[in-house]
A and B are shown apart, each in its own frame.
Chain A
Amino acid sequence: MSSEYEPKVLMFTCNWCSYAAADLAGTSRMKTPHNIRIVRVMCSGRVDPQFIMEAFAQGADGVIVSGCHPGDCHYMEGNYKALRRMLLLRKLLEQLGIEPERLRLEWISASEARKFVEITTDTVEKLRKLGPLKPRLDYVRKIMEEVVK
């Protein structure tokens, strides 16, 4: 693995807690890894597993889904739904040969800028160790093609 490898991470945050935590990290001038790109949705419950699959297919090395803490959801229970979906999706990823730890679900409240920094930093570090997803995906695709044949 090249030492210059920099993972690309897509992060889905809910509008109310986690997006605000990322804002607070900025306002507090905390340093976060530059590898994260945030897509804002209203609730972590909006995150459709196909978004995540698409992200991996398009070359994301990792995906973080982040919402309000259990019980704090702006929409009562959207984060629980996200939890259920992500648990299933991680199983599916495993079966596809993608390391499930490439998908993280986290609860970050609006005041937890530090947690935002910690989680994003930790994710990038872990992904650096895992290496890029692309070769693995190509391998999976090849096997699939053989299976189809």
Chain B
Amino acid sequence: MEGAKLGEVAVVGGGIAGIQAALDLADTEFKVYLIERSPSIGGRMAQLDKTFPTLDCASCILTPKMAEVLRKDNIELLTLAEVVDVIKNGNKFKLTIKQRPRYVDTNKCTGCGTCVEKCTARGKLGAPDEFNEGLSTRTAVYIPFPQAVPKKAVIDPNICLRLRYKRGCGICEKVCPANAINFNDTERILNLTVDAVIVATGYKFIDPRLPELSIYGYGKYPEVYTNIEFERILDARGPTGGALIKKDGSHPERIVFIQCVGSRHYKINPYCSAYCCMASIKQAILAKEHEPKVDVTILYMDIRAYGKGFQDFYNRAENEYGIRFIKGRTAGITEDPSKKKLIVKYEDVMRGTIETMETDMVVLALGIVPNIPSFLNRLGVVRNGRVITRPGDPISTYVDGIFVIGATLNPTDIPDAVLQGSAAAARVTEHVLRRKTPFEVMRS
């Protein structure tokens, strides 16, 4: 049996949950197709500067896992690829996958970045940099982020001058030392047949521009940030090179974090997004580490420090870092243009008063919703916008062989996503082995 493949599995989504599932399956001798929509795996975690409650640098701990994906012979990585349909066919699943063109030959590209340096579509002609949440721009040919896997360039056809006008520019093609640019690349439809499918498509943030959230002034006041934007500002790889500065380049004297934006909200998300209390505490601590003089306040409903090491982290934020915690909901944010300050109006529940606070920056802890791919709807495992799984086995759906993990199921932090990734790999092993050779494997 040594070296023989136990079966073939599709893992949909290359965030930390999907990566973990793929790695465990590869180690258990499955053939794995890891299907990722964007040009690189890594998901949301790749965008994080640090993780709570250990303050581990996210890229330090994630990058080795991403590199391992590339090294495994039995993982086939499909980037820029989306699963459009899954059809159950006996014991197998037939997948239809749409893969967008990269316009770069991944076999030739060495990730050197020469093309990126020379690309003419930059600045105003460029596009918002997804990795930096649009706080900076990127070129038409780009490498998503320094630790991207695969570390290969990709061309954005929407802004590439050559691809838009079918002529001209083409400078990347000329400068590429490896002749990797291919403007004739086209969309492909791939078909796969697999024994099981693991869905790890993650989550979407609540749109802070929703009318119900207009009180927070996001999009209206430049110094109101979402928490993922703020994460990019804290990150040394981010738009400010890790400097905690406002858009005008000055240092903030005060930062206010607002919790439960779109979560625990009767009109938007009635549920709790589970990650945000700790994420804000982490960001508050990091802000203090960047600028020890900055005054940091967290406006919260309840501090949900429920996981391992969380309570201790919360206590340290309050006692060692001097972060101010105020229980209360925010009524609204306005601006004092003369002072260039934002004014947060909130209820201080513990004092029973309505207060206002001047601040330089506001960070909104955004709620999240499961990102459920449409094929799951067609497989009939989704009800009221949630994936339905078996009671007693939260990752197994009622379609044998379809497993759903991570934030696709419900709000999940990194350790739980990792555990569910591994657990899904185990479920696939059970599923395939029990079906194939129930007697052969029952050796004592």
Contacts and interface: CB of A to CB of B under 8 A. Distances in A.
Contacts of B236: 111-115
Interface of B: 49, 54, 56-60, 63-64, 113, 146, 235-237, 241-242
A111 B60 contact: yes
12 contacts: A17-B57, A20-B60, A27-B146, A28-B237, A110-B57, A110-B59, A110-B63, A111-B49, A111-B59, A111-B235, A111-B237, A112-B57
Nearest to A23: B146
A38 interface: no
Contacts of B58: 111
Interface string A96-117: 0000000000000111111100
A115 B64 CA distance: 21
A28 B146 contact: yes
A126 B54 CA distance: 33
Interface string A18-57: 0010001001100000000000000000000000000000
Interface string A41-78: 00000000000000000000000000010011000000
A16 interface: yes
A20 B146 contact: no
A106 to B, nearest CB: 15
Contacts of B54: 71-72
Nearest to A27: B146
A114 B58 CA distance: 16
Nearest to B56: A72
Contacts of A17: 57, 60
Interface of A: 16-17, 20, 24, 27-28, 68, 71-72, 109-115
Closest 3 CB pairs of A and B: A110-B60, A109-B57, A111-B57
A68 B60 CA distance: 10
Contacts of B57: 17, 72, 109-112
B242 A114 contact: yes
Nearest to A115: B236
Contacts of A27: 113, 146
A81 B56 CA distance: 20
Pick from B54, B60, B146 the residue with the most CB of A within 10 Å: B60
Nearest to B242: A114
A109 B54 CA distance: 13
Given A110-B59, A110-B63, A111-B236, 9 more contacts: A20-B60, A27-B146, A71-B54, A72-B57, A72-B60, A111-B59, A112-B236, A114-B236, A114-B241
A110 B241 CA distance: 14
Contacts of B241: 114
A110 B64 CA distance: 11
Contacts of A112: 57, 236
B406 to A, nearest CB: 23
B65 to A, nearest CB: 13
Of listed A16, A28, A111, residue having the most chain B CB within 10 A:
A111
A72 B242 CA distance: 20
A9 to B, nearest CB: 23
A119 B241 CA distance: 16
Contacts of A72: 54, 56-57, 60
Contacts of B146: 24, 27-28
